[in-house]
């Protein structure tokens, strides 16, 4: 129960004046500050309900309610049911925040569908107005998509092959109006010149071979077309330039960008947003095998740009380069945004929770940053520093895929920029290496995959569609 107006909520609980006095005394006693996400529990032995939780909503904005929802879900973890009472005058945005917080924080990854959680039933008591229903629908769409992204990213890579990932997309899109999926296999990729995706996937066994998934949402009457591209490395050993164990053990998360762009497109479809969205997920396992690409190899990207492989561990920009060149030439979108767990350097610069955002467009970067803030995800805009662009020049090829001058996240962004063609000014790139994963339960995040980017992209699609 949020602390906003306890008497209103208590009214709904049908508690008498004595209970109300008890609650007020309790809140005074514990000095409940009401700050967002703090919860105080009043035990009521031998009475119903057996516990009352009081959650702070801070300033009462959406973020405060999201924090309250997450804190309530977590505090009620071991209960069998939770009833959340919301004051009658609560704004729809607040309800969206509350619902997102409750649902996102209740997530747990299950490898096998066996063990159910104790907390099975969460009831939110609120007025059933049209606006509140709409806010709950939005929350449901974005949470469902985020949890799918978390599921995909948490899945161990022995099961998570590119073909497996593609099957999950086909399943998720089945029967949703406006959605179609195409899954391209290696023979198609070879015929069309997706040589970088193929080169990255070449170290893996055939049944773990690369795929290119194109999920398309085409509502009637849409004017704008947005392409979202997500890095889909189902496991990153580093290849011949193999990673040390410490850097490798979590590399099943290296398809978090692909999971997020798929999720956001599913959310757009669930919300029936009037904007055309295409998600591209270039999928490959960067494995070590007899036929792995080698440092010094030269590959030709889709569209003709050649690249000298100086480090086989800089594989994300390779698969993205092919997919982005394809998007620009064949899909001709108005805007292209890519998401990738691209560099360790990103986390060094910005820490565990904040993604790096690169774009030449102030308005696009501004809109994306605003969407991130509203949705509860954190981004920081970084410069596309031209001084470094010449570092990409190759001896044997147009560009090199790695340098050793530092500024790793920037150089990866500059590499991707080579594939934006006519869309250079209408392109944005998120390096979300560190926020894709959380080491602990924290607010609405749960330990493991966070589904980072689904919320930001979906909010942004909501505003561009409006
Ligand atoms: N998938 C990694 C980046 C990464 C590191 C993501 C840590 C999440 C956490 C990427 O493919 C990679 O290995 N990048 C290299 C690039 C370098 C070789 C230029 C890196 O960051 O070291
Ligand atoms: Mn790598
Ligand atoms: Zn990688």
Q: Which two tokens stand for residue 170?
A: 């086909």
Q: What is the distance between the alpha carbons of residues 111 and 160, in angstroms, rounded to a whole number?
A: 12
Pocket test for ligand 1, best of 240, 246, 313, 339 (most atoms within 8 A of CB): 313
24-28, 224-228, 335-339, 424-428: segment of lowest average pLDDT: 24-28
Per the rule left: phi > 0, alpha: psi between -120 and 50, beta: everything else, 5 is beta
Look-up: residue for tokens 């703090």? Answer: 38
- CATH of segment(s) 7-127: 3.40.220.10
Residue range 146-465 forms a domain whose CATH class is alpha beta
Helices and strands: H and E segment counts in the chain: 15, 18
Q: Is the CB of 36 under 6 A from ligand 1?
A: no
Alpha helices in 308-449 (DSSP H): 316-326, 344-350, 362-375, 408-417
Q: Which residues contact 257 (CB under 8 A, 6 or more apart)?
A: 229, 230, 231, 232, 338, 339, 340, 341, 342, 430, 432, 436, 453
Q: Is the CB of 433 under 6 A from ligand 1?
A: yes
Domain ranges in the chain are: 7-127, 146-465
Give the model confidence (pLDDT) of 420-464 as tens digits. Answer: 999 999 999 999 999 999 999 999 999 999 999 999 999 999 999
Looking at residue 12, its pLDDT comes to 58
Q: What is the distance between the alpha carbons of residues 134 and 138, in angstroms, rounded to a whole number?
A: 6
- Segment holding 458, helix H or strand E: helix 454-465
Q: Confidence band (pLDDT; 50, 70, 90) for 128?
A: confident
Q: Confidence band (pLDDT; 50, 70, 90) for 7?
A: low
83-97, 139-153, 264-278, 311-325: segment of lowest average pLDDT: 83-97
Q: Are 85 and 65 in contact (CB under 8 A)?
A: no
> Is the pLDDT confidence value at 77 over 90?
no
- Segment holding 335, helix H or strand E: strand 335-340
Looking at residue 465, its pLDDT comes to 77
- 276-286 and 225-230 as β-strands: parallel, antiparallel, unpaired? parallel
Looking at the CA of 249, which ligand is closest? 1
> Is the pLDDT confidence value at 283 over 70?
yes
Based on the residue annotation, tell me whether 317 is a catalytic residue of this protein.
yes
Q: Is the CB of 426 under 6 A from ligand 1?
A: no
Q: Which of 339, 285, 351, 367 is closest to 452 using CA atoms?
A: 339
52-66, 117-131, 138-152, 299-313: segment of lowest average pLDDT: 117-131
Q: Which of 375, 390, 436, 415 is closest to 143 using CA atoms?
A: 375
Looking at residue 2, its pLDDT comes to 41
Looking at the CA of 284, which ligand is closest? 3
Alpha helices in 30-176 (DSSP H): 62-75, 92-105, 130-154, 162-173
- DSSP codes of every residue in 238-261: -TTSPPPHHHHTTGGGGGHHHHHH
Separation of CA 177 from chain center: 23
Q: What is the distance between the alpha carbons of residues 352 and 362, in angstroms, rounded to a whole number?
A: 25
Looking at residue 92, its pLDDT comes to 97
Look-up: residue for tokens 């994963």? Answer: 437
Q: Please identify which of the residues 317, 417, 455, 459 carries the catalytic annotation.
A: 317
Q: Confidence band (pLDDT; 50, 70, 90) for 121?
A: confident
Looking at residue 3, its pLDDT comes to 41
Q: Is the CB of 341 under 6 A from ligand 1?
A: yes
Q: Are 382 and 358 in contact (CB under 8 A)?
A: yes
Give the model confidence (pLDDT) of 374-427 as tens digits. Answer: 999 999 999 999 999 999 999 999 999 999 999 999 999 999 999 999 999 999
Q: Confidence band (pLDDT; 50, 70, 90) for 122?
A: confident
In whole angstroms, how large is the CA radius of gyration of the chain?
Answer: 24
Please list the residues that pair with 339 across neighbouring strands. 230, 430
Q: Which residues contact 317 (CB under 8 A, 6 or more apart)?
A: 340, 342, 401, 412, 415, 416
- Segment holding 354, helix H or strand E: strand 354-359
Q: Which of 195, 202, 343 is closest to 285 using CA atoms?
A: 202
> Is the pLDDT confidence value at 10 over 70?
no
Looking at residue 19, its pLDDT comes to 87
**Whole-number average pLDDT of the chain:** 95
pTM: 0.96
Q: What is the distance between the alpha carbons of residues 228 and 225, in angstroms, rounded to a whole number?
A: 10
Looking at residue 80, its pLDDT comes to 85
Q: Which residues contact 380 (CB under 8 A, 6 or more apart)?
A: 350, 354, 355, 356, 357
Q: Which residues contact 325 (CB under 8 A, 6 or more apart)?
A: 301, 302, 303, 305, 419, 421
Q: Please identify which of the residues 51, 167, 224, 243 carries the catalytic annotation.
A: 243
Based on the residue annotation, tell me whether 243 is a catalytic residue of this protein.
yes
Give the model confidence (pLDDT) of 161-173 as tens digits. Answer: 999 999 999 999 9
């Amino acid at each position: 129960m949020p602390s906003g107006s306890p008497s209103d909520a208590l009214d709904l609980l049908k508690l008498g004046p004595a209970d109300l006095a008890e609650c007020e005394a309790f809140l005074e006693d514990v000095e409940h500050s009401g700050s967002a996400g703090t919860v105080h529990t009043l035990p009521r032995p031998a009475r119903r309900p057996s516990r009352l939780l009081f959650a702070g909503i801070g300033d009462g904005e959406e973020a405060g309610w999201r924090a309250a929802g997450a804190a309530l879900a977590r505090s009620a973890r071991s209960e069998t049911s939770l009833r959340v009472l919301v004051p009658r005058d609560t704004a729809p945005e607040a309800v969206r925040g509350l619902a997102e917080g409750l649902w996102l924080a209740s997530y747990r990854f299950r490898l096998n569908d066996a063990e159910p959680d104790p907390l099975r039933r969460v009831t939110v008591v609120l007025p059933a107005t049209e606006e509140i229903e709409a806010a709950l629908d939005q929350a449901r769409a974005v949470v469902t998509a985020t949890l799918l992204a978390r599921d995909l990213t948490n899945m161990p890579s022995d099961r998570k092959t590119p073909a497996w990932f593609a099957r999950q997309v086909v399943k998720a899109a089945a029967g949703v109006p406006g959605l179609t999926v195409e899954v391209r296999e290696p023979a198609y990729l070879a015929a069309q010149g997706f040589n970088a995706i193929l080169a990255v996937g070449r170290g893996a066994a055939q049944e773990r071979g690369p795929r290119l998934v194109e999920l398309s949402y085409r509502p009637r009457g849409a004017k704008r077309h947005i392409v979202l591209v997500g890095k889909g490395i189902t496991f990153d050993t580093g290849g011949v330039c193999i990673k040390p164990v410490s850097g490798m053990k979590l590399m099943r998360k290296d398809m978090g960008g692909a999971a997020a762009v798929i999720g956001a497109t599913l959310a757009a479809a669930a919300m029936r947003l009037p904007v055309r969205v295409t998600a591209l997920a270039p999928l490959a396992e960067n494995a070590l095998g007899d036929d792995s690409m080698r440092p010094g190899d030269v590959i030709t990207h889709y569209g003709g740009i050649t690249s000298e492989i100086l480090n086989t561990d800089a594989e994300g920009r390779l698969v993205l380069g092919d997919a982005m060149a394809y998007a620009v030439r064949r899909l001709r979108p108005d805007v292209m945004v890519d998401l990738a767990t691209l560099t360790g350097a990103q986390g060094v610069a910005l820490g565990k929770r904040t993604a790096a955002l690169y774009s030449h467009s102030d308005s696009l970067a501004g809109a994306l940053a605003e969407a991130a803030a509203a949705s509860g995800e954190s981004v920081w805009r970084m410069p596309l520093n031209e001084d470094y662009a010449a570092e990409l020049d190759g001896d044997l090829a147009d560009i090199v895929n790695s340098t050793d001058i530092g500024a790793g996240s920037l150089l990866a962004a500059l590499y991707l920029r080579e594939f934006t063609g006519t869309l250079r000014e209408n392109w944005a790139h998120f390096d979300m290496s560190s926020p894709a994963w959380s080491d602990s339960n924290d607010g609405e995040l749960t330990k493991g995959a966070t589904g980072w980017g689904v919320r930001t992209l979906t909010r942004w699609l909501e505003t561009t569609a409006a």
